[in-house]
Structure 1
């Protein structure tokens, strides 16, 4: 995909802002013809957005694309879901100030929480705004692959807080025999369906075998808050699902939660060599600095968004040397085994470290 691995942003015009719930909106961006190839996306990917705050500082956030993919000439529009986060500068701006005609800067689509249309049986466990990338996956899969089926298990606080309620209902009406929908509410009783309560590990371990043949599902997609995703992963592990069939994307991690790699001694000083868009450079790493921070001091176009180890925008291949990652909520085990790291969370262990952002 053109432009998918570098940090370039392009200004895109806001074509629509649709209220979904009291605390969420769907934002649609118009893509001009000359950028449609750049913004071609795989269902499940996200966009990094950028804006300047009133004090001139830069704010970056990532939001998942919710529309179907596969436009032959690239997408004319990009639609994403934004839920208000307490204290969140960008989400507050999107819900309270963003209007049609405004311009938003967007990086090319990125992310590996994806599913290309293929025959098979797939399932997802999502919580809250975790429905956003899965909505893109389901709508693309069922429209393009007649031999595919999908089971969507979603958890929301209340019916009124459920994002994309009508869109999911429309998909169920369109594909009644191929989309199995299970809705749970944690803070409200339903007249029909499952009793209220959280989808924790114990409940999912009992529930999933009753809903579908767990062992024959070709791919599981877990998306939402950290607790729900981790509980679902443990439930699937207890049910014997191979780790390679489970794909995760976490939308929110409390600051106290850690997913650090094994503790090792960090080199106080060192140097990082980085390749980005075919150009390489070598720069010193200051005390306590992440590799991303060292690269950004010299290459402002280095890709990043959350800087919290969640979005995966700063993913890079570790060519040589050794690093320690503080947190990793974005890379799957096979990516780490293959040599990929999150630059925003990586600190040098050896004096020389080489990263390649282009791989």
Structure 2
């Protein structure tokens, strides 16, 4: 019997206590998500010039706050892996899916802030954020202990059909993604170099033919990806599959948030050019603006997870075509390393680093 199973209801006087403790542990990812904006607040207070000269101690505190905030999705990944088991109860499955959702806290927090602004709702986004996660926790806690979802045999064929379509669409989007990430790397040479490449690229991806197709493909990827994640999250999974599901959920939230910020808020409503100044939070910058600091983990993890998710998909394809698991795992690890390095490089440029 696993440690997780031992923690569930047992006959005897301590059964209720065991169940309560397990339910509280299942709320840990949601607690981490609720703490996310306050970690960013702590970072801003530590680096704010209004608080006086920035000492070494305040720099260390700021770095720790930003590091913990950026690493918050890892807590969701770890908890989702811990909760993965065959035939979960309704409560266990809801708790596992809540853990997966917490991985997407950075883009969802950006979406919350932009959405409230678009709707002209004068309410603190942090208040709405905490309230939303409390509602999600309540939904999980209301899940039954005896219910069982449909068996895995009934849903496996559906997954197989959609994953191929998901991969084909990803290959097409990859062309735009490669250009987009390269364009951001040019930020190291300054805004002018970035603008020159972007101007050339926009003649293609902002054309009346290409842009609607590209947006439709993005939304299609989100819809199919969420469908796959929903189905896979109900099945037993190893660490590689959990990572693939979690990174996919982050990217689904990131794509929706980015489309809403760029196409709806910036271009359609406020008529702002989505150029380097827009992305880097000029003139204040991403680091020193109390609102824009949320974009640092949002962007950084977006870059990391897009390459990591592609590496996860490639790993599955390699194994399915007879490649050695050890070799496929090395390709996956290299993809994660490349994603991390690229994320650091792009965010350094957006925060002011220059060659």
Could you state the TM-score of these two structures normalised by the residue count of structure 2? 0.22
More helix by share: 2
Larger Rg: 2
More strand by share: 1
Could you state the TM-score of these two structures normalised by the residue count of structure 1? 0.22
The answer to which structure, 1 or 2, has the higher relative contact order (CA under 8 A, 6+ apart) is 2
